[in-house]
Amino acid sequence: MNDPTAPVGTGGCPTVTAVRGSLVWFGSDPFHTSSEQALEYVEDGLLVCQDGKITDAGPYDRLIGRLPTGTTVVHYRDKVILPGFVDLHVHYAQTRIIGAYGDQLLKWLNKHVYPEEVRFADPGYARRTAELFCDQILRNGTTTAMVNCATYPASVDALFEETTRRGMRVAAGKVLMDRNARSDLLDASPLQGYEESEALIRKWHGVGRSLYAITPRFALACTGEMLRLAGKLWDEHPGTLLQAHLAENAEEVEEVRSLFPEREDYVDVYEHFGLLGRGAVFAHAVHLGKREWGRLSATGSGVAHCPTSNLFLGSGLFPMRSATDRRHPVRTGLGTDVGAGTSLSLVQTANEAYKVGQLGVTPMDGTKLFYLATLGGASAMGLDGVVGSLAPGNEADFVVLDPSATQLLATRTATSETVDDLLFALAQLGDDRAVAATYVSGRLAHERNPCLDAKPDRKRQRRWTKSRDMGLRWLTYEESAGWSKDLEVPNAWSPYAPGVEAYKGRLYCLHQNTFHDESLWWDVYDKDTGAWRGDRALHDALGDPVPSHGPLAVSHANDYLYYVHHRTSSDTRLWWARYNIEGETGWSPDRVVKAADGREVRASGASLTVYDGLLYCVLRSAEGRLRWLTQDTGSKEWSTERDVPGGFTSSRPPVVERFKDQLYCVHDRGDDQLHWLTYDSASGNWSESRRIEDVDGNPVRTSYTPAITRYNDYLYCVFHQEDASGWGRLWWTRYDKGKGWSRPVRAGDAISSPGFDVSAYHGPLFCVHRG
Ligand code: GUN
Ligand code: ZN
């Protein structure tokens, strides 16, 4: 069997990646030392990762010089990087019944949970739900979870297939239950439950980062024989974990007492069958006596505090005071316990934990709350030193939190004078919107609105209303007349950058129309009518809408108009399609970009242009490296995907354009300054990446991905800057092969959100931007 905690390679050559931002983690348990002692904080920090592990964490200034040349540095300005959250107790098979009304535990199980879990006998249903669940926990910053599946082995296969595909460190197991529930959910016999669990251990434990958790549901649903076999199995498979529910609800405790009258208490039932120890996690633990806390403590068992669930089902208040009592401290973390829990966010769970703590007169500060959500949970699973910390040697799972994700958060955190207060405010006001990015094994696994990440000063408030923020607008530039007035593109709204390109006599603008849903729409401007013909959903060859998320890249190449994009926030694969106005089929089916070696191309942003007869795609890899590939538009075959030599990095998607026999690429290297490089197909060489400097030698600063296009005899670069008042404006500079880059000037008076594109079309230069 594999060592389940052995380092996980990235599959290719070793790569070093690094992220810059404020680093926060916990060096010890703040409940037993103090918050000041436990909190590790580096204000301007660098977190260095190699082969899925953290190799260094410390001040940026000290570490930057030690990085191998060409190492990617992704800069999360004004953001806080924490260890990925650990959800110590959750039921993925209950994702779809979250928030089901009315009853307390035992009735709620029969009415809502068991009928839903029966559906997980269907592998397709299980697979779809596993995918939804993983998407949702990653967008909430959770990278490790201890998961209950359903009784059916197929429900476990579906979850582990999804979590191993994403490289996540997840513990899960098939629920064991052989009484007190509908028969189609029960194990046919204790022995069959034991054998099925054993087969799943052999199949999954230690595969990738998967860990198997033996899962007797609770003493009420298990006979003594079932519990005995669970204990035997745990004993036979060292390294596996164990999870069960414990003393959640008063009625449940009474029933267990009558089912096991010979045992001293609930904990004694589990201890009798060998179910206590390091790596065993018990959910709820609301109604326990002193003796029981003592046994949990002495055996090194863990407990999951599930506040949203305990409140939702009216189960009771978790006694944090007992769990952290110095006489019998128990390893404690937080569980969402969805579907009884009402959120998959550990941030919201920490918020509720604070309130329950207040009722039990155990106030918890920001340090304690985030300790519970990270190292506390990891430690309860026996995974301290593996996950839950940014200390070197840990696996590189981390979350990037945005203290100004919402207007209220920004306003509140602007007054924070300590890190602890910043964390506390995040716990009270944050949710998935505060998660800017989630990394698994050093790779980007979720990014919230990639194009919006550039908001600069978190102390500044956003002033746009929602519709103004998203409505698309357009203006034009002509050398003789300058910039035109800024006008609305009728009925076009987009949360991300549109893609704009002239193609066969018309100007095309592709975007996502959020007033409907996140799918592709297109607007077409015709010089003859001088009007936009818009409001059209883009349909693929089968007539279906195309889901789409994040900035788009659009370019014509030979006879076609092409786009590349992402379909959802969590699918890092690039998808492409093309359109031929003369063809009869309209848009081709939306397909994954597959490189010549058969690998699916993954990216965090990409750009397209036609050059030397081929379609060129230059992209930012999940780790921030610049990579490229081409498509032969005749055969539709993609080339292999390669690094742009020199290891140039980019914290935002690059943009590309052919100009005067060369390919030009503009990007920024994490410093908010524009850089450029060129590629020459005749020599096959990429140039060095240089800083764009204007005629006076000044760098050109940007607060968002720029847009470039050739126009007349120049390469124009339009970029976005926020002025001191917080309004964003468009600026431009242009490149003259003889003279270099011009001094930047404002593009008219247009006020803009981040997200725009440019194209020359029939005389003027067109710019479409978010209002
Ligand atoms: N006890 C036994 N099964 C369950 C379950 O699915 N959810 C909760 N909250 N408690 C349980
Ligand atoms: Zn539960």
Query: How many CB atoms sit inside 10 A of residue 582's CB?
Result: 7
Q: What is the distance in A from the centroid of ligand 2 to the CA of 430?
A: 24
Pair of tokens at residue 432: 């998935």
**Ligand nearest to the CA of residue 313, numbered in listed order:** 1
Total Cβ atoms within 10 A of residue 468: 13
Q: Contact, 746 vs 739, CB < 8 A?
A: no
CB 248 near ligand 1, within 6 Å: yes
pLDDT digits (tens, 9 = 90+) for 551-575: 899 999 999 999 999 998 778 899 9
Angle subtended at Cα 304 by Cα 299 and Cα 310, rounded to the nearest 5 degrees: 135
Amino acid at 348: Q
Cβ atoms < 10 Å from Cβ of 362: 19
Cα 91 to averaged position of ligand 2 atoms, centre (Å):
6
Total residue length of the chain = 771
Spacing, Cα 284 to ligand 2 middle (Å)? 8
Q: What is the pLDDT of residue 302?
A: 98
Residue located via tokens 């990617």: 72
How many C-beta neighbours within 10 Å does residue 589 have? 13
CA 261 to chain centre: 48
Which atom in ligand 1 lies closest to the alpha carbon of residue 309? 9
Q: Where are the beta strands (DSSP E) in 257-321?
A: 280-284, 302-305
**What value, to the nearest 5°, has the Cα angle with vertex 176 and ends 172 and 181?**
125
Q: 539: which strand partners?
A: 545
Mean pLDDT, residues 509-521 taken together: 80
Residue 562, token pair as written in the block: 């092409």
| Distance from Cα 337 to the centre of ligand 2, integer Å | 5
520, containing H or E segment: strand 520-526
Q: How far is the CA of 188 from the centre of ligand 1 (A)?
A: 20
pLDDT at 72: 72
Q: What is the mean pLDDT of the chain?
A: 91
Ligand 1: which atom is nearest the Cα of residue 306? 9
Distance in angstroms (rounded) separating the CA atoms of residues 261 and 256: 8
The alpha carbon of 748 and the centre of ligand 2 are apart by a number of angstroms equal to: 58
pLDDT for 138 beyond 70: yes
Q: Is 356 near ligand 1, meaning CB less than 6 Å away?
A: no
Please, are residues 120 and 153 in contact by the beta-carbon 8 Å criterion? no
Q: Ligand 2 centroid vs 335 CA: distance in angstroms?
A: 8
The atom of ligand 1 lying closest to the CA of 252 is 1
SS3 call for 402 = coil
Average pLDDT of the segment spanning 369-373: 98
Q: State if residue 260 touches ligand 1 by the CB under 6 angstroms criterion.
A: no
Of 622, 630, 669, 662, the closest CA to residue 646 belongs to 669
Ligand 1 pocket test, candidate residues 110, 218, 281, 308, most atoms within 8 A of CB:
218
- Segment 433-449 shows an average pLDDT of 89
Q: Tell me: pLDDT of 752 over 60.
A: yes
Choose the weakest-confidence range: 519-523, 631-635, 749-753.
749-753
Of ligand 1's atoms, which has the minimum distance to the CA of residue 341?
Answer: 9
Highest mean pLDDT among 88-102, 438-452, 661-675: 88-102
Q: Does residue 218's CB lie within 6 angstroms of at least one atom of ligand 1?
A: yes
Tens digit of pLDDT for each residue in 153-205? Answer: 999 999 999 999 999 999 999 999 999 999 999 999 999 999 999 999 999 99
* Alpha carbon distance 588, 644 (integer Å): 29
Whether 340 is in the pocket of ligand 1, judged by its Cβ within 6 Å, is yes
CA 15 to chain centre: 21
Token pair for residue 398?
Answer: 């981390």
Burial of 65 per CB tally in 10 Å (0-12, 13-18, 19+): exposed
At residue 670, the pLDDT reads 73
Token pair in block for residue 265: 């208490």
Q: What is the pTM of this model?
A: 0.68
pLDDT of amino acid 452 = 38
Question: What integer pLDDT is reported at residue 11 of this predicted model?
Answer: 33
Q: Which residue's CA lies nearest to atom 11 of ligand 1?
A: 245
- 161 CA to centre of ligand 1 in angstroms: 24
CA distances from 455 to 446, 451, 659 (A): 18, 9, 30
- pLDDT at position 514: 67
Find the ligand nearest to 98 CA.
Answer: 1
Secondary structure element (H or E) that encloses residue 766, with its range: strand 765-770
In the beta sheet, which residues pair with residue 483? 477
Element (H, E) at 507: strand 506-512
For ligand 1, atom 3, name the residue with the nearest CA: 217
Paired residues of 590 in beta bridges: none
What φ, ψ does residue 692 adopt, rounded to 5°? -75, 120
pLDDT value of position 15: 65
The CB-side HSE value for 391 (13 A sphere, CA atoms) comes to 14
- Ligand 1 geometric centre to CA of 259 (Å): 18
113 Cβ below 6 A of ligand 1: yes
pLDDT of 73? 81
pLDDT-derived band of residue 67, with 50, 70 and 90 as boundaries? confident
What 8-state DSSP symbol labels residue 462? P
- Work out the widest C-alpha separation in the chain, in whole angstroms: 94
pLDDT in the model for residue 516 = 56
